[in-house]
Amino acid sequence: MAWDFQTDPEFQVELDWIDRFVRTEVEPLDHVLGSPWNIHDPRFKQLVKPLQAQVKARKLWACHLGPELGGAGYGQVRLALINEILGRSLFGPIVFGCQAPDSGNGEILAHYGTPAQKQRYLQPLLDGDIVSCFAMTEPQGGADPAVFTTQAVRDGDDWVLSGEKWFASNARYAAFFIVMAVTDKTVSVYEGMSMFIVPAEAPGVHIIRNVGIADDPAATHAYLSFENVRVPASDMLGAPGQAFVVAQVRLGGGRVHHAMRVIGQAQKALDALCERSLSRSTQGSRLADKQMVQEKIADSWIELEQFRLLVMRTAWRIDHYQDYKRVRKDIAAVKAIMPKVLHDIAARALHVHGSLGVSEEMPFTGYIVRSFQMGLADGPTEVHKVTVAKQLLRDYQPCDELFPDYHRPTAAARAREKYADVLAGLSELEP
Ligand SMILES: Cc1cc2nc3c(=O)[nH]c(=O)nc-3n(C[C@H](O)[C@H](O)[C@H](O)COP(=O)(O)OP(=O)(O)OC[C@H]3O[C@@H](n4cnc5c(N)ncnc54)[C@H](O)[C@@H]3O)c2cc1C
């Protein structure tokens, strides 16, 4: 009997410290600083660096990493509990050295980088001295890699990249990009794309423009162009044609880490919903006493707990199998449901806060926009639902009892036949 929903007391001490630290020191930064990835901002150096030093001293820095890379090697279940708290603040992940896309890019470099690449890119990334960018999506489409046209052509000891990328997060602050490009047009993109490290200062890399999210100019996603950008052959990550194999190293973990942080945001919205309901009175009673508000609170808690359990179970399965492929359905399910959970809870909290709810002093409009981002970044919800269904159908074992084969009696017909005598006796007794 191995089911267990408890946190061991020693780790709970760490979680309590993280919770206090994030609420008092980190959450306020969301209201005064711009992008968490703008590590070049002097205010970042003044306000964020000292907090990062405290996290390092507490040995909680980069907890997503194994001990060989300087992390605590906590595994995904413990990471989920930490990320729930970090998700409460935009600055939580960067203060703890586990922000996307750098965490995933670091994992790629750790798996596929040469010693020289690790020294040049991975170490400063792990130390928090640089940030990075992952460029896969193209202007003509992100959900369908078959339309990708950015290409890399071999020229002597180099590859020469040309093409455009779209919505590459934090490119303007990044020291390097990890870029996917077609290296063999004669096969499908899944066998013909390769992954490259491109330094931001490489000649031919241009930011055409930076795009903000909704009314938040701090969040920047770049429209990039690569104009005959020359990279040495050694800067290919993995073998030629392996881009999607390499990408899975970051996408599997990245998706579930987003979900862990979304729990924190949804919990913050639910906390606010409860607080508002208890503190606001109208028409003779507290909001908390009105059944339509109670329904909002109950639905929010139930949906959040369902989601949290799915995320925790997925984290447990990743730790257990150590193989993202075996947990693909679970990760896709978490990714697909995450936007709706965040959206619905944030929308209820916003509504119960009245006019204050739509104001920029509350996080709800931001959460609602973020719920849509979560439904797009790392692939649209529809694509992940298709993955869930395909995996379910692939593993489905036809069950003889229920199989709707009209040439054989169904389970219902067989049951009636089996108990025909009893049923006949009963009908004789009927008036
Ligand atoms: C906040 C944010 C950050 C991002 N950061 C990065 C980044 O750092 N690097 C990067 O490379 N990309 C990044 N992206 C891009 C992201 O990967 C793409 O937005 C995503 O893959 C969808 O591609 P698209 O935007 O071109 O939409 P499209 O591919 O045009 O899809 C639009 C819509 O069509 C529908 N659709 C698509 N496919 C299907 C289908 N098979 N079945 C049914 N409906 C479908 C869906 O409703 C989908 O939302 C980011 C996106 C966001 C929102």
Same domain, 370 and 277: yes
Same domain, 333 and 259: yes
Residue 412: the pLDDT is: 81
Same domain, 224 and 351: no
Tell me whether residue 126 is in a domain: no
Residue 341: the pLDDT is: 98
Burial class for 273, CB neighbours closer than 10 Å (0-12, 13-18, 19+) = buried
Spacing, Cα 376 to ligand 1 middle (Å): 5
CATH code for the domain in which residue 368 is found: 1.20.140.10
- Summarised one tens digit per residue, pLDDT across range 7-29 is 999 999 999 999 999 999 999 99
Ligand 1 atom with the shortest distance to the CA of 101? 8
Residue 427: the pLDDT is: 65
Tell me whether residue 3 is in a domain: no
Regarding the beta carbon of 310 and ligand 1, being less than 6 Å apart is answered: no
Regarding the beta carbon of 143 and ligand 1, being less than 6 Å apart is answered: yes
- In this predicted model, which residue has the larger pLDDT, 67 or 33? 33
Mean pLDDT over 401-420 rounds to 76
Same domain, 136 and 88: no
Residue 401: the pLDDT is: 60
Tell me whether residue 118 is in a domain: no
- In this predicted model, which residue has the larger pLDDT, 397 or 142? 142
Tell me whether residue 406 is in a domain: yes
Least trusted range by pLDDT, from 55-59, 250-254, 280-284, 414-418: 250-254
- In this predicted model, which residue has the larger pLDDT, 253 or 97? 97
Q: What is the percentage of the chain residues whose pLDDT exceeds 90?
A: 83
Q: What are 163's strand-pairing partners?
A: 226
Spacing, Cα 381 to ligand 1 middle (Å): 9
Has residue 429 got a pLDDT over 70? no
Regarding the beta carbon of 211 and ligand 1, being less than 6 Å apart is answered: no
Same domain, 256 and 363: yes
Regarding the beta carbon of 324 and ligand 1, being less than 6 Å apart is answered: no
Has residue 317 got a pLDDT over 70? yes
Has residue 344 got a pLDDT over 60? yes
Spacing, Cα 277 to ligand 1 middle (Å): 37
Same domain, 290 and 152: no
Residue 399: the pLDDT is: 65
Same domain, 387 and 374: yes
Regarding the beta carbon of 383 and ligand 1, being less than 6 Å apart is answered: yes
Contact 200, 105 (CB under 8 A): no
Has residue 431 got a pLDDT over 90? no
Same domain, 66 and 169: no
CATH code for the domain in which residue 94 is found: 1.10.540.10
Least trusted range by pLDDT, from 164-173, 230-239, 257-266, 418-427: 418-427
Same domain, 362 and 388: yes
Residue 43: the pLDDT is: 96
Residue 67: the pLDDT is: 83
Same domain, 272 and 352: yes
**Chosen domain end from 177, 209, 241:** 241
Q: How confident is the model at residue 400 (pLDDT cuts 50, 70, 90)?
A: low
Regarding the beta carbon of 217 and ligand 1, being less than 6 Å apart is answered: no
**Chosen domain end from 187, 210, 241:** 241
Regarding the beta carbon of 380 and ligand 1, being less than 6 Å apart is answered: yes
How many CA atoms within 13 Å lie on the side-chain side of 156? 4
Ligand 1 atom with the shortest distance to the CA of 170? 8
Ligand 1 atom with the shortest distance to the CA of 219? 1
Tell me whether residue 121 is in a domain: no
Annotate 364-403 with b (16+ C-beta within 10 A) or e (fewer): bbbbbbbbeebbebbbbbeebeebbeeeeeeeeeeeeeee
Residue 316: the pLDDT is: 96
- Summarised one tens digit per residue, pLDDT across range 282-301 is 999 999 999 999 999 999 99
Residue 320: the pLDDT is: 94
Which residue has a Cα nearest atom 1 of ligand 1? 373
Which residue has a Cα nearest atom 23 of ligand 1? 142
Determine how many CB atoms are found less than 10 A away from the CB of residue 190.
13
Residue 305: the pLDDT is: 98
Least trusted range by pLDDT, from 94-98, 236-240, 354-358, 408-412: 408-412
Q: How confident is the model at residue 153 (pLDDT cuts 50, 70, 90)?
A: very high
pTM higher than 0.85 for the full model?
yes
Same domain, 158 and 230: yes
- In this predicted model, which residue has the larger pLDDT, 349 or 71? 349
Mean pLDDT value across the chain: 93
Spacing, Cα 332 to ligand 1 middle (Å): 15
Has residue 414 got a pLDDT over 90? no
Spacing, Cα 142 to ligand 1 middle (Å): 5
Regarding the beta carbon of 126 and ligand 1, being less than 6 Å apart is answered: no
Spacing, Cα 194 to ligand 1 middle (Å): 20
Tell me whether residue 316 is in a domain: yes
**Chosen domain end from 214, 241, 268:** 241
- Ligand 1 pocket test, candidate residues 221, 250, 258, 374, most atoms within 8 A of CB: 221
Residue 403: the pLDDT is: 57
CATH code for the domain in which residue 215 is found: 2.40.110.10
CA pair distance 330, 334, nearest whole angstrom:
6
- Summarised one tens digit per residue, pLDDT across range 199-253 is 999 999 999 999 999 867 777 899 999 999 999 999 999 999 999 999 887 777 7
Tell me whether residue 86 is in a domain: yes
Tell me whether residue 110 is in a domain: no
- Rounded to 5 degrees, what are φ and ψ at 403? -55, 120
Mean pLDDT over 40-64 rounds to 95
Residue 425: domain span = 399-431
Same domain, 219 and 255: no
Number of domains the chain contains? 4
CA pair distance 212, 218, nearest whole angstrom:
7
Mean pLDDT over 86-108 rounds to 95
Residue 207: the pLDDT is: 97
Angle at 372 between CA 280 and CA 322, to 5 degrees: 110
Which residue has a Cα nearest atom 49 of ligand 1? 380
Contact 100, 257 (CB under 8 A): yes
Ligand 1 atom with the shortest distance to the CA of 378? 17
- Summarised one tens digit per residue, pLDDT across range 351-398 is 999 999 999 999 999 999 999 999 999 999 999 999 999 999 998 877
